[in-house]
Chain A
């Protein structure tokens, strides 16, 4: 079956630091890959997605590239802000259901 493994947290960074959250997946077929973000007390919001190999999703300074050869979809941001403090979830879909990773809590300190 499908599964997603993402870097365990928590991750604590200083403002303007570089953020990487690793995500690898196992799937049959050709899944689409997503990053969702959950701010404290809120639901999940789509951050970015990629639907085929070598696609790069980007949004709000975050980027992730769909790497089929390494079955990975690592999330990166070059300079984080305090407002980026949240829980980040990697997810995949090969039909109409999402399979999620466990989530990575990121705290950015001023």
Chain B
């Protein structure tokens, strides 16, 4: 009963390095999301993919890129990491569009940029 799986769970990067966070869901959901969580700010949407083949910017897309590889997988890439990107990153998915749909979250990836 995996749900949403994201890797790695922990990562330390040096400023300027690049990395990709991987996410996969096994619930056959159409929509997938990447959020970041910072103290006192709740979760903020970075990018989302309403369906396979589409991606759109959220509230805080600068410094990130995404790829919806297939229906199951949605990756987040930091091309040149900055200390401001130190955060906890959550991947999520939902089965349909429209209000009322439940979004399911992965366990999070703790990223530190030094």
Q: A-side interface residues toward B, CB under 8 Å?
A: 4, 29-32, 34, 36, 42-46, 49, 51, 89, 93-98, 100-103
- A98 to chain B: which residues have CB within 8 Å? 43, 45, 103
- Cβ of A95 and Cβ of B105 under 8 Å apart? no
Main secondary structure of the interface of B (DSSP, over half): loop
Judge if B94 is at the interface, Cβ distance under 8 Å.
yes
Minimum Cβ distance to chain B for residue A93 (Å):
5
- Give the contact-size bracket for chain B: 20 to 34
Give me 13 A-to-B residue pairs in the complex whose CB atoms sit less than 8 angstroms apart, sorted by A's number.
A30-B99, A36-B105, A43-B4, A45-B105, A51-B100, A89-B42, A93-B99, A95-B99, A96-B50, A97-B33, A98-B43, A102-B42, A103-B42
- Cβ of B42 and Cβ of A32 under 8 Å apart? no
In angstroms, Cα B90 to Cα A16, docked, is 32
Minimum Cβ distance to chain A for residue B48 (Å):
6
- Cβ of A94 and Cβ of B90 under 8 Å apart? no
